[in-house]
Structure 1
Amino acid sequence: MDSDNKLLNMGVLIVATLIVAKLISAFVMPRSRKRLPPVVSGWPVVGGLFRFLKGPIVMLREEYPKLGSVFTVNLAHWKITFLIGPEVSAHFFKAPEADLSQQEVYQFNVPTFGPGVVFDVDYTVRQEQFRFFTESLRVNKLKGYVDQMVMEAEDYFSNWGDSGEVDLKYELEHLIILTASRCLLGREVRDKLFDDISTLFHDLDNGMLPISVLFPYLPIPAHRRRDRARKRLAEIFASIIASRKLAGRSENDMLQCFIDSKYKDGRPTSESEITGLLIAALFAGQHTSSITSTWTGAYLLRYKEYLSAVLEEQKTLMRKHGNKVDHDILSEMDVLYRCIKEALRLHPPLIMLLRSSHSDFSVTTREGKEYDIPKGHIVATSPAFANRLSHIYKDPDRYDPDRFAVGREEDKAAGAFSYISFGGGRHGCLGEPFAYLQIKAIWSHLLRNFELELVSPFPEIDWNAMVVGVKGKVMVRYKRRELSVA
């Protein structure tokens, strides 16, 4: 009997201990275990993988109204937590690399950019390489680049007839690769090797597929062509670099900036690093500029009031400066700037930005809800979705460049990170000034020299592309003219 009582007492003690432990843990357990974000419903094991692959923006549109600005989607063994809106995304943009890292989530770029650059090096080296980019995009450098942009635009459009129809998307893509070749890759490429380089970059571009994100080294034909192109590009740039050094020749382009760059310990950049940095620069700028140029044109030709406004601005500048276009004159084009910025708000080419979380952190929504994001999660935000939030932008799906005008400035009224087409914070796009100047140089020339009319339906968004752009052709009828300054 005593043994039975002992067993009973021991059982009661164990149960009581478990209950007390449970109660204690409810109060003292880490908050991140109590306030995890809501999870998007999905299938066992794979979670929301199929919904995500079907289109992240579609998923965001469905889940944001139900779950709010912070939620997690399980993709097989990955957990991606979305932070949507400036109230919850500040840590995403401001956190140090030790807490939120780019390197792990962008490893798929390494075969394209090459070894020893950007996401294939540790953060301290990457910061030095980003310094090389920054120095190559200083105002004194940009002024020289603008002269080349203007020259390329004048030369390209001189080949148009007095009237005709063109696919604006194709024309702008081609012009921007020409401009980028001149400003970034150098005169040797633009004058003698453009067709070769263009073909090689095409193979590089086509080697970056959705499956490449998960399996960048998968032995498929597109990846093999990518690797051959990368090797050939390295050989071409090594030859150009050696030729410049042997002749003691210096040029005003990004290639020269990288040749002249040195790390803090005094080590010069290697030929392999220079090639990788140039490829990264061209990838960062080519698609985004051509896509944004096309959307800008489509919207201007759709909304005559804004077309009239930018034409009037061009007339004003021509009365003031004549036909001259340079860096400072482009900087005066505020109306055109707002039209480009609004096209970018509606159509940021990079629809998702990613980081890998190495530490727990907390966020508070604008409704006051607090969530703890555990380390190990992939953290994401979406410019394509966040740029259209109705509590920040009035009538957010409408093209309205005046929302950025002085006195209204909707992007500033809601605080930092309300407009994230170029990212922001620690990893904001270094090429933003270059992009605006390039698009302004092209469109100021088109506006001054041609009457334009959109003759195809307004374009749709190509959600299937790695860099989300314009679907199909954008057919435009043009007629050459002299813009009156009267």
Structure 2
Amino acid sequence: MVAMESDSKFLNVGFLIVATFVVAKLISVLLIPKPQRRLPPVVKAWPVVGGLVRFLKGPVVMLREEYPKLGSVFTCKLLNKKITFLIGPEVSAHFFKAEESDLSQQEVYRFNVPTFGPGVVFDVDYSVRKEQFKFFTESLKTTKLKGYVDRMVKEAEDYFSKWGDSGEVDLKYELEHLIILTASRCLLGEEVRNKLFDDVSALFHDLDNGMLPISVLSPYLPIPAHRRRDKARKRLAEIFANIISSRRQTGKTKDDMLQCFMDSKYKDGRQTTESEVTGLLIAALFAGQHTSSITSTWTGAYLLHYKKYMSAVLDEQKNLMQKHGSKVDHDILSEMVVLRRCIKEALRLHPPLIMLMRSSHSDFSVKTREGKEYDIPKGHIVATSPAFANRLQYIYKDPDTFDPDRFAPERDEDKVAGAFSYISFGGGRHGCLGEPFAYLQITAIWSHLLRNFELELISPFPEIDWNAMVVGVKGKVMVRYKHRELPIN
């Protein structure tokens, strides 16, 4: 009897505790107001397909239309996805600085896996990817770059020696070919450059053509371009496996990126495999080839169009020739600050990658320069656009005008609004590792052209090819050239 009374009291106490908890929960839900999330404004669009049609017509066009109406933070619905754009340095700091666990590249860039191959970059956990990025960093440190410059200069000299005394050329075509020759020499190795260049170049062409807009949504769709891509990727793996095996068997080493990747080891002591080396090389060439060839072409088009800046870079070359003679090396290229500003300005106006994206794994908030605060929910794709952000009027004076002097010390427009005002190479945690290589490569090429040729643009100023995956120059850029040595007096 006593035991039963004890059990009854215990149940009553338990019921009372549960009832108290339920009542408290109800009071908190009904009476205590929950803070509402301050969600970004949403782009108006049709149901179901959302903003997909507008987005596919061109994200930059959509940004130009919506930014004046919605501000620097807004969301676009694409089928079952939501993309939130962060435009401008004030709201994009988290985008560039966040940990991979919060904002991840992997999900949004997995469409690269069939091209790069298994076991590298976006097909591995971030911890492994970080180690692989260190391999890139090691292969692009200053001591390595100094050696690469000699090859860049030699490739330019050899290539342009075939032009003859005068003629007309498609500058875009010429620079594309020279860039891949240079990249083959510095990155892929002498074996490729001297013996297998035509084969490897054709295979990379098939890889490149296998990267289509549809590839982003369905990278394994069984279409002819994807089948050619996969066949080329398999053949490249065989070619590099043979080169790597030969180098390891003979014990011969080379001073190129291929050798750096071969010699790289993970923290646990494991050496890179042939498959990983091939994948890393393909990723490196893809990352640099388009950027360098496109930016080289735009730089030339602007210099030939604006005589003021052409005169400025020619004067700089004359001064350096008086100081150093005809010699060109890493340190001399670093002195070409006027030419570098022209390259940087061409890249500001025409960044090849017009959108950068991340997948949000956690909620975060941003505050605009006007003081508005927005909460970005977990699960959104978060994006920014170098092509749009690089032309913001409150950062850059006359933003659509080619004006390299905006980067001169007395102006420094790209620093006025703080970090991430200039994002052609991305920035922060995932900034482009190949930026120094790209500047050296483009500077070496244009230094040679300026010193040895008179050039005249004879086709209309080029338009932007918005239909390409990597946005570049539309059509031919026809140039008339005449060989001459730049007078230094």
TM-score bucket of the superposed structures, by smaller chain: over 0.9
Partner of 2:231: 228
Partner of residue 169, structure 1? 172
State the 1:485 CA deviation.
1.1
1:294 aligns with 2:297: yes
1:271 to 250, 271, 274: 274
Aligned twin of 2:245: 242
SS in 2 for 1:90: helix
Over residues 369-405 of structure 1, what are the superposed CA-to-partner deviations in whole Å (9 max), with x where a residue is unaligned? 0000000000000000000000000000000000000
Cα distance, 1:21 vs structure 2? 7.5
| Correspondence for 2:390 among 384, 387, 391 | 387
Deviations 1:155-182 (A, max 9, x none): 0000001011000000000000000000
Match of 1:205 in 2: 208
The equivalent residue for 1:325 is 328
Deviation at 1:20, TM superposition (A): 8.0
SS of 1:421's partner is: coil
Q: Which residue of 1 aligns with 2:355?
A: 352
Distance 1:482 1:111 in 2: 47
Aligned to 2:188: 185
2:284 is matched with: 281
Report SS of the residue matched to 1:452. strand
Aligned to 2:432: 429
Matched, 1:130 2:112: no
1:28 is displaced (CA, Å) by 1.8
Counterpart CA distance in 1 for 2:30 and 2:191 is 73
In the alignment, which residue of structure 2 is the partner of 1:374? 377
How far residue 22 of structure 1 moved from its aligned partner, in angstroms, is 7.5
Q: Name the SS for the 2:289 alignment partner.
A: helix
Q: Give the equivalent residue in structure 2 for 1:453.
A: 456
1:364 to 333, 358, 367: 367
> 2:198 matched to which residue of 1?
195
Q: 2: CA distance between counterparts of 1:135 and 1:320?
A: 32
In structure 2, the residue matched to 1:7 is: none
Instruction: Map 1:121-160; keep pairs closer than 5 Å.
Output: 121-160=124-163
| Counterpart Cα distance in 2 of 1:154 and 1:23 | 78
2:34 maps to which residue?
28
> Could you list the per-position Cα deviations for residues 356-379 of structure 1 after superposition, in whole angstroms to 9, with x for gaps in the alignment?
000000000000000000000000
- SS of the aligned residue for 2:268 comes to coil
- Cα deviation, 1:184-230, whole Å, max 9, x if unaligned, reads 00000000000000010001001110000000000111111111100
Q: CA shift at 1:247, angstroms?
A: 1.2
Q: Distance in 2 between matches of 1:481 and 1:368?
A: 57
The amino acid that maps onto 2:448 is H
Q: Which runs of 4+ in 1 moved over 3 A?
A: 19-25
Structure 1 residue 242 displacement after superposition: 0.8
Alpha-carbon distance in 2 for matches of 1:306, 1:46:
47
Give the Cα–Cα distance (whole angstroms) in 2 for the partners of residues 123 and 246 of structure 1: 32
* Partner residue, 2:64: 61
Counterpart residue number, 1:11: none
Match runs of 1:8-87 below 5 Å: 24=31, 27-29=33-35, 31=36, 34-87=37-90
**1-structure distance, mates of 2:446, 2:290:** 17
SS in 1 for 2:100: coil
The residue aligned with 1:106 is 109
Q: Counterpart of 1:406 in structure 2: which amino acid?
A: P
- 1:17-37 Cα shifts (integer Å, max 9, x gaps): 9x9877646x324x4xx3000
Instruction: Name the TM-score, length of structure 1 as normaliser.
Output: 0.95
Corresponding letter in the other structure for 2:149: V
What secondary structure is seen at the aligned counterpart in 2 of 1:323?
coil
Given the alignment of the two structures, is residue 443 of structure 1 paired with residue 446 of structure 2, yes or no?
A: yes
Cα distance in 2 for residues equivalent to 1:61 and 1:102: 25
Q: Is 1:315 aligned with 2:318?
A: yes
Please name the residue that 1:4 is paired with.
none
- The one of 419, 428, 449 equivalent to 1:416 is 419
C-alpha distance in structure 1 between counterparts of 2:485 and 2:152, whole Å: 21
Whole-Å separation in 2 of the counterparts to 1:353 and 1:67 = 20
Task: Show CA shifts across 1:435-478 (max 9, x none).
Answer: 00000000000000000000000000000000000000000000
Structure 1, residues 264-296: CA drift from partner, whole Å, max 9, x if none?
111000000000000000000000000000000
- In structure 1, the partner of 2:20 is none
Q: Within 2, Cα distance between the matches of 1:414 and 1:407?
A: 15
Corresponding position: 1:479 with 2:482: yes
Q: Partner amino acid for 1:408?
A: R
Stretches of structure 2 lacking an aligned partner (at least 5 in a row) = 1-23
Cα shift at 1:246: 1.2
* Superposition RMSD in Å: 1.3
1:99 shift after superposition:
0.2
* Mapped pair 1:400 → 2:403: yes
Percent identity over the alignment is 83
Residue 344 of structure 2 corresponds to 341
Q: Secondary structure at the match of 2:203?
A: helix
Query: Which 5+ residue runs of structure 1 have no aligned equivalent?
Result: 1-16
The separation in 2 between residues aligned to 1:471 and 1:252, in whole angstroms, is 36
Matched AA of 2:324: H
The separation in 2 between residues aligned to 1:429 and 1:483, in whole angstroms, is 34
Report the TM-score, using the length of structure 2 for normalisation.
Answer: 0.94
CA offsets per residue over residues 308-328 of structure 1, 9 Å max, x none? Answer: 000000000000000000000
* Distance in 2 of aligned mates of 1:483 and 1:59: 46
Taking the aligned partners of 1:49 and 1:187, their CA distance within structure 2 comes to: 46
Q: Distance in 2 between matches of 1:102 and 1:245?
A: 34
